[in-house]
Structure 1
Amino acid sequence: MSEYLVIYEKTATGYSAYVPDLPGCISTGPTLEDTRRNMQEAVEGHLSVMREFGDPILQPTTMADRIQIPA
């Protein structure tokens, strides 16, 4: 099993999301929960198409962290 980093961004109409390790794999939704659900389907579909076309599926390498900055 692989874990892919998903970046969520607030938009004027809801949320958008993308996976840095899977270029072109994006999704949107009116709520964060909808976007998460849509992104799960998008990643599964993206990987399925890659397998169908014989594209190599590389292991995820992108990481994220948070830092705190005093106000």
Structure 2
Amino acid sequence: MCEDCLDVVAETSAGQNPEQLASAARHIERDMHGEPVLALAWEIYFGKTTGAVDWRSMERMARCVEAARVLLQMQPLPE
């Protein structure tokens, strides 16, 4: 997905390690009720490939990423 599509990619990591953020978001999604998002949709969301994502998947991924950001912000910083 390009940055013009909702400015999601540019703001997704917001100072956090993008790989950690992606991993945490996917982990959160596994615990959610409902149909999981396809792996390809996650790759598109995080800019690893291009393509279209259906709205249901987009909303689900956005919720997972936001939850992952909160979770990662709660972790203590290394000393």
Question: Same fold by TM-score, threshold 0.5 exceeded?
Answer: no
Q: Greater share of helix residues, 1 or 2?
A: 2
- Larger RCO (CA under 8 A, 6+ residues apart): 2
Higher radius of gyration, 1 or 2: 1
Q: Flag the structure with higher strand content.
A: 1
Tell me which interval the TM-score lies in, with the shorter structure as reference length.
0.3 to 0.5
